[in-house]
Structure 1
Amino acid sequence: MLLWSSLGGCWKLGCEDWMRSSSQLPKQDYEALQERCLIDGCLFEDQSFPATLRSIGRGPLLRKLPERVYWRRPPELHSNPQFYSAKAKRLDLCQGLVGDCWFLAALQALTLHQDILSRVVPLNQSFTEKYAGIFRFWFWHFGKWIPVVVDDRLPVNEAGQLVFVSSTYKNLFWGALLEKAYAKLSGSYEDLQRGQVSEALVDFTGGVTMTINLVEAPCNLWDILTRAIYSRALIGCQTHAGKERVLENGLVDGHAYTLTGIRKVTSKHGPEYLVKLRNPWGKVEWKGDWSDSSSTWELLSPKERILLLRKENDGEFWMTLRDFKTHFTLLVICKLSPGLLSQEGGQTWLYTMLEGRWEKGTTAGGQMRSPRDMFWKNPQFLLSVWRPQEGRRLHMPCSVLVSLLQKPRHRHRNRKPYLAIGFYLFRMNQSYDNQRRLPPEFFWENAPLNWPETFLTEKEVSRELWLEPGTYLIVPCTSEPRQESEFVLRVFSRSHVFYEIGSSSSVVFSKEIVDPNEGQDEFFTKVFEKYPEINAIQLQKILNRMPWSGLGSKQPLFSLEACQGILALLDLNASGTMGIQEFRHLWKQLMLYQKVFHKQDTHRSGSLNWAQLRAAMREAGIVLSGNISQLMLIRYGGPDLQMDFVSFVHLMLRVENMEDVFQNLTQDGRGIYLRKPEWLMMSLYS
């Protein structure tokens, strides 16, 4: 027997039974609803997604619920509720009773990039300023960003604990409210029970997902992961399909994880390639080699071990790439811009999106099985590809990324599962002008250049193609004829024209997009062609040749001593050099330091005083007391108690380094115990 209770609120939005059959969300004006609540002195109640059993669902999820379930607002659950806090750990969310590990794994990948997260979760919402019990989130929904409005009534048990997603910080509620908004978009909490990491990643970013079957993983998987991590891709993975259960090795079968980092380390037996993963449960970890309690950590230098190993049951752990490929089946990489695998020069991609549908009797032809089947009835799209810079790379094909997305066929995403979809690619060797559709004879006489490897019952299938300049035909289809659904077809390339045969308008949505990381990738490639391993002298040359455009006319000059200090902080295996991973990490930090330094250097003097230093460090995520800040200025600043950019970089790297050490060694968050070799290593070398 379930008992339900809800407190508070008076402003309601009538929306009848839209959930029973409609495939569209109700249109709700967030600003107008909030203003109306503030004027009336009421808290918002969303009748389109009410605080009742109807929003939970009607299936197996009900059997998981506690005997008594109440709906409470965050101010009723905590004396100091906060929507979001930048000071909280980035991975602070834990899965609740809903089997939505796929959603949470994608969400945790999102938290690694605050600017991307803030597109989905407006972080300026609160329970104090203009609080009216109403919150808004944004999701990418088949070509456009749509808002989803919810009230803040959340299901809790008798003890006041959240039934679904919660934070390790009991006063933070952004994760629980985002899950509620996604449940509303999907139909109900019950509709989050099953899904793919790739589906949520697309909804959070509008990016393109690439799924790698780890049983058939490419030999350059480590290189792919390296490019993905440092081009700000979001990465999830899944274990073998099956009932969600904990195995003896600590992994959970039939479960999704977030890939949060990679690291090449040097052990006594040679190099090891490690991946860092997190369980959305916030607990239950891998027990094999390189786990928190594994003896393999003794094979590393003390410094490397201290900085990487964190013995805490928080669901995050390391394992080798070899074990990762053995125990996980799928790796999902969501790229915000298309150049993940491509190594072409240039920074501009052209993006075109077209919408279509498969209709029974007219355009639902199914897959290609025999020369005279119904395949020719499927929607047909012409793609013209040309080389953007004639005369360069004349014998090199062009990279074209094709993404096929199918729309849900029911308001409740799990009521009608996704169809198995794919697409074929044909080369056009002659013109078919003024054709509403290419005739069946074309498909009898021409074999596809590209067949779907498998028809996947997923929201998106994508593939990178390498095409010579010319005209091509793309035919998206379902695995069986007469299956109905709507779809979106996206094409990314350096230069192309893309349109549907027989359509009145050639382009529905087309624009140029810039991949900011591609210029950096080209820069990194040139650096490491010249310096595969960078020592202090080479680092000095690189940093002093950089334009540092973000610092204005005050260009920094890195001394050899400063570069030796920087290298010591990043050189985990004490080799006297840094590799590509360490340099990319350094580069990311330098861009952040340049930004905050320039912002606080209001007089453009090229240096910071005590107040400016403290403000710059706070903006970069480091909060120190006034006394400590003063000591840092004396230690790293000049005789006039001013700190230049080079000294600021050295200080910030050192503080962040020691912060990582403390977090990895502390058991209670208040203190640590160091053995003598570890103390000497951290005191003298870093």
Structure 2
Amino acid sequence: MALLPFLHPWRKKSRRQWPTCEMGAAQKPSSLSQQNYQTLLEECFKKGCLFEDEFFPADIRSIGKGPLLQKLPQRLLWKRPLELHRTPVFYASNKKRLDLCQGVIEDCWFLAAVEALSFHPDILSRVVPTNQSFERKKYAGIFHFKFWHFGEWVDVVVDDRLPVNEAGQLVFLSSVYKNLYWGALLEKAYAKLCGSYEDLQIGQVSEALVDFTGGVTMTIKLSEAPPDLWDIMTRANYSRSLMGCQTQPARRVADKECSVQKRRVLSNGLVSGHAYTVTGIRKVTCKHGPENLVRLRNPWGKVEWKGDWSDSSGKWEQLSPKEKILLRKNDDDGEFWMSLQDFKTHFVGLMICKLTPDLLSKELGKKWTCSTQVGKWVKGSTAGGRMKAHNAAFWRNPQYLLRVLQGNGSKTSRYSCSVLVSLIQKRNDHHRNRMPHLHIGLSVYKVGQEYHDLNRKLPAAFFVWNMPLNRAVFVNDREVTQDFRLPPGAYVIVPATAEPNQESNFILRVFSRKHSLHELGGDSSCVLSKEIVDEHEDWEDFFTKYFDQYPEINAMQLLRILNNVAWTKLQNHGLRFSLDACRGILALLDFNNTGTLSIQEFRCLWKKLLQYQAVFQKNDIQQTGTLDQVELQASVQELGISLSNELCKLLAMRYGNPGLNITFESFACFMLRVELMMEAFHNTSKDGKGIYLQESEQKELQGHHCVAGKLDEKSFTETEEQCGKQSIQHNE
């Protein structure tokens, strides 16, 4: 490939001379994953332009509308790294430390989590794909990052235009190494995920840690720390868990001219209301005995603890020369040591993000299984609120039957099993800070043998006469996590908001050695996770086992199944089936008029969908996730149906988007209708060429198509005209 014009060194050119292009989906994507990085990169190379992200533009819309605007320089510019440095570097693996510095955004919680990532290169490389660079053969002004977002990994694409002041200094996150830009671009991608840079103001370290790993967080209130806190931190350190912590918030200061940093720095060197990263722990031997030390880092990259075991502390003289040289540093780099006792005194909370849920179990290395349920609290329906005196609505909350099974034949699992339950809420707003978190919690109840095969919700009377196994703590955090030791048996988990009629989506995750989990009542009896489904090569065997448990599925269950299985490359285009589409599919395939699908009916659907998917991907030449009229005609013809150009255009108008392109969902629904109508035609036709109707049969046929196909007014009129001719001809 010949070098494109913009790939040569252009430091002598002005910005206006650089070719740029705006690219994205035809309409604003409902999911960030609809912007496919590889497709956009290749398009930039093809057009010889630099990427400009129209969905997160280089202007004030991406900054936000809140107090952050007051902290910006008078003249805010947006520059690419190649305009700011002669030799910009995206990621440098040879750097011993990837030191980052906080900008004017109060996102120390985010930065503390990023610092924790830097100690785990394998995790970091998943969030920050390190094969990106500013080298001329790889660079097109576009970068991408991966985050775990409400139960699934999403790929977030951004351009590399960064906000700077007139001196060319980054306004937000920067690096100690002035030519290193992965941190600034990661912050931009995370701001896009959260809605804007303003939405990064104020947060919890635990939130960012979960978004980076998909792990489960637990928060320890240090004023009530358990006696085995050091053992917990030791196991967290050895199990590669990520840790962060927070100091007590500061009191308001009347002097508005005092800078944020000066206002918060205490006499002991700590910053009030600030997030830190726990970067290590160490037990040392002093003259008076052993001492447990905790190593912390300030995301500012400066301002350190001044007490015992600080860089200038005399405590270091109590160690052997070797240990002293190994641990002590005199650099003002924001990293310092302190004793465990001082840590518990001066910090209010320790957040631990567990990559696996065996942190609190001493049996390390054994396999854990995870079940995930997606639910919703709906006002007047499933938002019953917490269980308190005379609350008759508590039973209306979503209920999940958990069967804890004996795991792996271990002796301890015969009597009790370690179970970790996580509840995450997701408010209905794209902007993270526009809707505050609700107070959420969960309760776990033991149920008797009579409920083991129950598929209906437990009645209100059950909760009046039975007490939960745990004390449900309601907190206004995004995630609530509780650990249990449960004997094998049946249990019911009830996630709830603190007050009734509070609405939100949520994810319930359960980790244990061996268990099963499904919802009681409601429309969604079971949710299949992508990870589970992807592991099954024998689809028929898998769905046979599934339908053994749930013999019939309705439209909502069909929606959940289709949207949680892997659709290979179609996932990159945000493939989602709508409830209306699933209702239409069910109406077509529900041959016995039960309002549900049996396994035989679903098997028929599944085989057809896989066939449609293969044809769709084959004819989607540009990999846009849609078919144009030419591609549609080729696809339908490959499936054995001939369409005229005129009819193909009509179908594109009927089933396509405003650009007359057809998504896989529309293609699948259309093909199902056509194939079933053709099958009905052949079964009804006496000569294989047409169906000849009496006038009295016309209304019956029209009614049949309205129920099965849900025709709009235009299509209904066309059907009337065809039926008026008293024959339907089929062009073989």
Pair in the same fold by TM > 0.5: yes
* Residue in structure 2 matching 1:32, options 39, 42, 53: 39
- Residue identity matched to 1:293: S
Q: How does 1:88-107 map to 2 (within 5 A)?
A: 88-107=95-114
Matched, 1:437 2:444: no
**CA shift for structure 1 position 325:** 0.2
Q: Given the superposition, is the C-alpha separation of residues 360 and 508 from structure 1 closer, same or farther in structure 2, using an over 3 Å criterion?
A: same
State the partner residue of 1:536.
none
Shift, 1:67, TM fit = 1.4
DSSP 3-state at the match of 1:307: helix
- What residue is the counterpart of 1:109 in the other structure? 116
3-state SS of paired residue (2:412) = coil
1:297 alignment partner AA: W
Q: 2:166 aligns with which of 158, 164, 170?
A: 158
In the comparison of the two structures, how many residue pairs are matched? 505
Amino acid corresponding to residue 402 of structure 1 in structure 2: V
- CA-to-partner distance for each residue in 1:305-324, whole Å, 9 max, x for gaps? 11110100000000000000
Q: Please point out which of 17, 21, 28 is paired with 1:11.
A: 21
Which residue number in structure 2 is paired with residue 224 of structure 1? 232
1:247 to 266, 270, 274: 266
- Tell whether the 8 Å contact from 1:350 to 1:511 is kept in structure 2 after alignment: no
Q: How far is the alpha carbon of 1:407 from its aligned partner?
A: 1.3
SS in 2 for 1:253: coil
Tell me the alpha carbon deviations over residues 60-100 of structure 1, each in whole angstroms, 9 at most, x when there is no partner: 11111111111000000000001000112324111111000
**1:298 is the counterpart of 2:306:** no
**Partners of 1:198 and 1:50 in 2: CA distance:** 28
Match 2:411 to one of 371, 392, 396: 392
Match of 1:582 in 2: none
Asked whether the 8 Å contact 2:129–2:144 carries over to 1, the reply is yes
> Which residue number in structure 1 is paired with residue 697 of structure 2?
none
**Larger deviation: 174-183 or 429-438?**
429-438
Q: What does residue range 39-118 of structure 1 map to in structure 2 within 5 Å?
A: 39-118=46-125
Are the structure 2 counterparts of residues 6 and 360 from structure 1 closer, same or farther at C-alpha, using a change threshold of 3 Å? farther
- Which letter does structure 2 place at the counterpart of 1:182? Y
Q: CA deviation at 1:512?
A: 7.9
1:182 pairs with 2:193: no
For the residues of structure 2 that align with 1:247 and 1:131, how far apart are their CA atoms? 45
Provide the C-alpha distance between the structure 2 equivalents of 1:511 and 1:121, rounded to a whole number of angstroms: 21
The ranges of structure 1 where at least 4 consecutive aligned residues each deviate by more than 4 angstroms after the TM superposition are: 5-9, 14-18, 510-513
Which residue does 1:311 correspond to in 2? 330
Change beyond 3 A, Cα 1:218–1:6:
farther
Evaluate the alpha carbon distance shift between residue 6 and residue 448 of structure 1 in structure 2; reply closer, same or farther with a 3 A threshold. farther
Question: Which SS does the other structure have where 2:236 is aligned?
Answer: helix
For residue 332 of structure 1, what is the aligned residue in structure 2?
Answer: 351
Q: Secondary structure at the match of 2:316?
A: helix
* 1:489-568 pair list within 5 angstroms: 489-502=508-521, 503-509=523-529
Gaps of 5+ in 2: 1-13, 252-259, 534-732
Q: Does 1:207 align with 2:226?
A: no
CA contact (8 A) 1:23 1:409 kept: no
Shift of residue 235, structure 1, vs aligned partner? 0.5
Distance 2:26 2:39 in 1: 20
Match of 2:482 in 1: 463
User: What's the offset of the Cα at 1:373?
Assistant: 2.7
Aligned partner (choices 119, 132, 140) of residue 125 of structure 1: 132
Q: Distance in 2 between matches of 1:275 and 1:345?
A: 23
Q: Is the 8 A contact 2:413 2:487 kept in 1?
A: no
SS of equivalent residue, structure 1 residue 123? coil
Q: Which amino acid aligns with 1:422?
A: G
Shift of 1:447: 1.1
Q: Which secondary structure state, in structure 2, belongs to the residue aligned with residue 500 of structure 1?
A: strand
C-alpha contact 1:24 1:411 (8 A) present in aligned 2: no
Deviates further, 366-375 or 481-490: 366-375
The 1-side partners of 2:435 and 2:364 are apart by 43
* Contact 1:372–1:440 under 8 Å retained in 2: no
Q: Is the 8 A contact 1:384 1:472 kept in 2?
A: yes
Summarize the Cα distance change of 1:498–1:153 in structure 2 as closer, same or farther, 3 Å threshold: same
TM-score scaled by length of structure 2: 0.67
> Judging changes above 3 Å, is the alpha-carbon distance between structure 1 residues 346 and 332 closer, same or farther for their aligned structure 2 residues?
closer
Residue 396 of structure 1, CA deviation: 3.7
Give the 3-state SS of the residue equivalent to 1:148 in structure 2.
strand
Does the C-alpha gap of structure 1 residues 325 and 160 become closer, same or farther in structure 2, counting only changes over 3 Å? same
Shift of 1:266: 1.0
Shift of 1:230: 1.1
**In the alignment, structure 1 residue 146 sits paired with structure 2 residue 154:** yes
Q: Which has the higher contact order (CA 8 A, sep 6+)?
A: 1
Q: Which has the larger radius of gyration?
A: 2
- Corresponding letter in the other structure for 1:199: E
**Hey, what's the Cα distance between the residues in 2 that align with 1:394 and 1:51?**
56
User: Following the alignment from structure 1 to structure 2, what is the Cα–Cα distance between the partners of residues 86 and 458?
Assistant: 35
Q: What percent identity do the matched residue pairs reach?
A: 62
RMSD between aligned residues: 2.0
1:163 aligned partner, one-letter code: V
**Would you say the 8 A contact 1:349–1:512 is kept in 2?**
no
CA contact (8 A) 1:257 1:277 kept: yes
